[in-house]
Structure 1
Amino acid sequence: MNELKTIRCLVVDDEPPAREVIRRYVQDVPTLHLAGECANAVQALGALQQQAIDLIFLDIRMPQLDGTTFLKTLKNPPKVIFTTAYPEYALEGYELDVVDYLLKPVRFDRFLKAVNKAFPLGSQQADTTSVLSTPAAQEEKKSESFVYFRADRKMQKVMLHDILYIESMKDYVKIVTTAGTLITKQSITSVEAMLSEKLFVRTHRSFIVAIEKIRSYTNELIEIETTEIPIGKLYRNGVMKMLA
């Protein structure tokens, strides 16, 4: 039986709430070790000079020196996973040969997928089998599932089981929950990518609904509490199949 090796991780992000999310995720995975946190690229350079790092979670848009420019300065960089709220940087990230690109707010399952992409099962550098092989841990995560949305200049936690529906409003998205409404500057497509397909369904180019919150539906409408949400023609077959 192979001994599990520790993957030493460095989190680089100028926003404390964003670092907190990745820190918690790293601490929840047995094979990952949080070697350090940095608020900017200068601190990150110092951390890399002081210790060996296997994997960097690197924000792109930071003051003084952005993540992509910083990465270009490194001669032999560790593996890098970009974390950013700006999807337009994805192409540049892949051109720099980063492992993956995580769009904020980062989901735990998407985080795990990126880590296992960096260190595949059976990898000689690190064995991450235990990352996804603990059913009890997975069930615990499901029961505590949440996402973070940027609103009012901070990252706000929203429990998935509280979400009723999500509505696109041009450059913004409205998340309607049992506790109230939150508005964030984000595309509905990027929000859809954050959510579980088992819990949510896209019904229209402007709407995503929580499946368990549906009270009734027809071929054209879904009712959640007192709100009627349209089912677009392009989404109808998928919605009906999901609800059948």
Structure 2
Amino acid sequence: MNLTCAILHTDRQVSEQLEMFIAKTPFLSLCGEYSNPIEALKGYYENKVSLYFVGIQQEAMEGINGMEFSRLLSPSTRVIFIADTPRYAAECFRLDALDYLVSEISFLVFFEAVNKASRWFSLKGEAGMPFTLLPEKAQTEQPKVLYVKSDSRIIRLDMSRICYIEGLGDYVKIYSKDESKPVLSLCSMKYMEEKLPPDEFIRVHRSFIIRKDCIRTIESNKIALEKRSIPIGDVYRKKLKSYISNYSVL
């Protein structure tokens, strides 16, 4: 699959770095690089851009910033925002951004983001329709999400897909369903426990928080998930028993 892409950014150095990364990516084809949103919009319709890299603090004399520009694009076009601060991440993801890259972007981080775009368009082609064309009820139901900083990115995680979280000192590793690698974030387990809904997640060890519906079996000292056994800490055993007591055990 070959994806047409374009860049809208006022910082020429950032644009040049993106151009270099795009040239190294075999499935991307650059069809435009702009610093003016009006010109960018004109080129967008002429070239049928699939993927747009947009500077989040993009300002032009026409008064259109990056987020406003993204609202003018078709839902079938995916946007990766480029920023020098995580400040606008939540708002950008509410605009259904594909990714949000922060500051000094490495090629690895860039490639992970555009590979996500490639998967999205592949699935869209298999389904024969864009993901945005959902039943009316599904459009009104907003999924519970979690925003975490990992390297130079702000990543949006769907809570329903998180399987478990493992604490590693000042960091946590977040394991999600159908993802081969966890997301590593500078964050404490206490903070994660406070942010996760208690009706869906439970802390069972000082180093582990698990999603309740991922539990397969419970033994005296461990809990079996689909691909991992999690130890049960003595401090958290009472809370786990309380959770189990809400259900009938035959």
Q: Normalising by the residue count of structure 2, what TM-score does the alignment of the two structures yield?
A: 0.48
Q: Normalising by the residue count of structure 1, what TM-score does the alignment of the two structures yield?
A: 0.49
State the structure with bigger RCO (CA 8 A, min sep 6), 1 or 2. 1
| Structure whose alpha-carbon radius of gyration is higher | 2
